[in-house]
Amino acid sequence: MIVSLAALVACSTAAEAAGDAASGKKVMSKCQVCHGKDGLAKLPDAPNIAGQKEAYLVRALTAFKAGERKNEQMTVVIKGLSDEDIANVAAYYSSIKITVQIPP
Protein backbone atom coordinates (compact mmCIF):
# COMPACT_ATOMS: atom_id res chain seq x y z
CA MET A 1 0.00 0.00 0.00
CA ILE A 2 2.76 2.48 0.93
CA VAL A 3 4.69 1.61 -2.24
CA SER A 4 1.56 2.23 -4.34
CA LEU A 5 1.03 5.60 -2.68
CA ALA A 6 4.65 6.58 -3.29
CA ALA A 7 4.35 5.59 -6.94
CA LEU A 8 1.17 7.64 -7.29
CA VAL A 9 2.84 10.72 -5.82
CA ALA A 10 5.87 10.27 -8.06
CA CYS A 11 3.67 9.94 -11.15
CA SER A 12 1.57 13.00 -10.32
CA THR A 13 4.70 15.06 -9.72
CA ALA A 14 6.18 13.92 -13.03
CA ALA A 15 2.93 14.77 -14.82
CA GLU A 16 2.95 18.24 -13.28
CA ALA A 17 6.52 18.80 -14.40
CA ALA A 18 6.21 18.07 -18.10
CA GLY A 19 6.64 21.53 -19.63
CA ASP A 20 8.87 22.72 -22.45
CA ALA A 21 11.32 25.46 -21.42
CA ALA A 22 11.76 26.82 -24.98
CA SER A 23 8.00 27.30 -25.32
CA GLY A 24 7.89 28.77 -21.83
CA LYS A 25 10.45 31.39 -22.83
CA LYS A 26 7.93 32.65 -25.41
CA VAL A 27 5.10 32.78 -22.85
CA MET A 28 7.04 34.33 -19.97
CA SER A 29 6.73 37.84 -21.42
CA LYS A 30 3.62 38.09 -19.23
CA CYS A 31 5.67 37.12 -16.19
CA GLN A 32 8.82 39.13 -16.74
CA VAL A 33 7.36 42.47 -15.63
CA CYS A 34 7.36 41.25 -12.02
CA HIS A 35 9.63 38.20 -12.06
CA GLY A 36 12.11 39.22 -14.78
CA LYS A 37 13.40 37.23 -17.75
CA ASP A 38 16.01 35.84 -15.39
CA GLY A 39 13.53 34.92 -12.66
CA LEU A 40 14.88 37.58 -10.31
CA ALA A 41 12.05 39.77 -9.06
CA LYS A 42 11.81 43.31 -10.37
CA LEU A 43 9.23 44.39 -7.78
CA PRO A 44 9.77 44.26 -4.01
CA ASP A 45 6.66 42.13 -3.37
CA ALA A 46 7.31 39.58 -6.12
CA PRO A 47 9.29 36.44 -5.34
CA ASN A 48 12.41 35.30 -7.15
CA ILE A 49 11.48 32.17 -9.11
CA ALA A 50 14.70 31.36 -10.97
CA GLY A 51 15.65 27.75 -10.40
CA GLN A 52 12.48 27.03 -8.43
CA LYS A 53 11.24 23.44 -8.66
CA GLU A 54 9.09 22.96 -11.76
CA ALA A 55 6.35 20.96 -10.02
CA TYR A 56 6.07 23.63 -7.31
CA LEU A 57 5.65 26.38 -9.91
CA VAL A 58 2.97 24.37 -11.72
CA ARG A 59 1.07 23.81 -8.45
CA ALA A 60 1.38 27.47 -7.44
CA LEU A 61 0.24 28.79 -10.83
CA THR A 62 -2.61 26.30 -10.99
CA ALA A 63 -3.72 27.40 -7.51
CA PHE A 64 -3.76 31.04 -8.66
CA LYS A 65 -5.79 30.07 -11.73
CA ALA A 66 -8.28 28.14 -9.59
CA GLY A 67 -8.57 31.03 -7.12
CA GLU A 68 -7.08 28.96 -4.29
CA ARG A 69 -4.20 31.44 -4.00
CA LYS A 70 -4.91 35.13 -4.24
CA ASN A 71 -2.86 38.01 -5.61
CA GLU A 72 -4.39 40.78 -7.69
CA GLN A 73 -1.61 40.91 -10.30
CA MET A 74 -1.33 37.13 -10.57
CA THR A 75 -5.09 36.80 -10.99
CA VAL A 76 -4.99 39.10 -14.02
CA VAL A 77 -1.97 37.42 -15.63
CA ILE A 78 -2.96 33.81 -14.99
CA LYS A 79 -6.37 34.12 -16.68
CA GLY A 80 -4.66 34.29 -20.06
CA LEU A 81 -2.55 31.16 -19.54
CA SER A 82 -3.59 27.66 -20.56
CA ASP A 83 -2.49 24.61 -18.58
CA GLU A 84 0.14 24.01 -21.26
CA ASP A 85 1.38 27.61 -20.91
CA ILE A 86 1.64 27.12 -17.15
CA ALA A 87 3.67 23.93 -17.58
CA ASN A 88 5.94 25.62 -20.11
CA VAL A 89 6.54 28.75 -18.02
CA ALA A 90 7.30 26.55 -15.01
CA ALA A 91 9.78 24.57 -17.12
CA TYR A 92 11.44 27.78 -18.31
CA TYR A 93 11.91 29.36 -14.89
CA SER A 94 12.96 26.08 -13.28
CA SER A 95 15.62 25.57 -15.95
CA ILE A 96 17.43 28.79 -14.99
CA LYS A 97 20.66 27.89 -13.22
CA ILE A 98 21.33 29.72 -9.99
CA THR A 99 24.33 29.88 -7.71
CA VAL A 100 24.00 30.07 -3.96
CA GLN A 101 26.64 31.70 -1.80
CA ILE A 102 26.58 31.18 1.92
CA PRO A 103 27.67 34.32 3.76
CA PRO A 104 31.03 34.19 5.56
- Report pLDDT for 18: 83
d(CA 61, CA 64): 5
pLDDT (tens digit, 9 = 90+) per residue, 30-41? 899 999 999 999
Q: What is the pLDDT of residue 87?
A: 98
Does residue 14 surpass a pLDDT of 50? no
User: What per-residue confidence (pLDDT) applies to 2?
Assistant: 52
Mean pLDDT computed over every residue of the chain: 87
Confidence of residue 94 (pLDDT cuts 50, 70, 90): very high
Contacts of the segment 30-36: beta carbons below 8 A, 24+ positions apart: 30/77, 30/80, 30/81, 31/77, 31/89, 31/93, 34/73, 35/93
Residue-level pLDDT at 17: 55
Which pLDDT belongs to residue 45?
A: 93
